[in-house]
Amino acid sequence: MVVHLGVDEVLKALGSGVRRRILAELYARGRLRYSELMRATGIEQSGWFAHHLKLLLSAGLVKRDASGKYYLSSLGRRAVLLIEEIERGGEGIPVKLVESISKMAPVDEVKATWGLVALVYAVSLASLPGWLKLLSLPPALASLALYTSLARSLKSLYCLPLFFNVYWVLVKPARWKPTLASMACGMASALALASYMEWRLALPLGIGLLALAALASYLGYRSAGEAPR
């Protein structure tokens, strides 16, 4: 029986708890320099750390960019997702879901978050009376543009139904808090603007909640080392 050498290298790299911890830290924090990654994993011996990192690089699970920062490859992200699912004792993540989420860059998470918020805005504003319904058109177009861009980034139309709910957020625990905070504030903002409360109250409340949603997104991704641009 012939086994591809790459499979052996990947399985060997995943067989160490230290190397799995390195992968988990890169998944949670984004791109890190050598010293930052070493400190995040709690390994004090540079030579020992370099040995583990070299195996991950050789297996194609980790890559290094031109600035010297280390980051997870698409294979590395898929490996982390599957490891986390195994540790949770779940029944397994659908393969296409893993493939779509593993390709997501931070900016794609922003698109998925705000695509849903814009969709809720469109639906909420469409319930307004008379010509005010036209206010739903800009967020509807924005949502369409964001989801189209997301599908092009992930090279998959299958991904779109996955992002009409929050399941994908739960599969990416590293940044689920800021993402859910953004969604909650954004949706609350839409509901406030579409409600029948006095506009002098609804307008500042809606704008304030929307600002909080944007702030949650920005702070969340900046703390991960990859603030969206």
- CATH T-level topology, domain 5-88: Arc Repressor Mutant, subunit A (1.10.10)
Confidence class for position 12, pLDDT limits 50, 70, 90: confident
The structure's pTM equals 0.57
Mean pLDDT rounded to a whole number for the chain:
76
Lowest mean pLDDT among 16-30, 35-49, 152-166: 152-166
SS3 45: coil
Q: Is the pLDDT of residue 194 over 70?
A: yes
Confidence class for position 202, pLDDT limits 50, 70, 90: confident
Quote the CA–CA distance of 98 and 144 in Å, as a whole number: 23
Confidence class for position 82, pLDDT limits 50, 70, 90: confident
Q: Is the pLDDT of residue 85 over 60?
A: yes
Quote the CA–CA distance of 151 and 68 in Å, as a whole number: 30
Taking every pair of Cα atoms in the chain, the longest distance, rounded to a whole number of angstroms, is 74
pLDDT at residue 94 in the model: 56
Higher pLDDT, 2 or 117: 117
Give the model confidence (pLDDT) of 62-72 as tens digits.
888 888 888 88
Give the model confidence (pLDDT) of 121-164 as tens digits.
888 888 877 887 888 898 899 988 988 888 787 776 656 665 65
Number of neighbours of residue 202 by Cβ within 10 angstroms: 17
SS3 105: coil
pLDDT at residue 95 in the model: 55
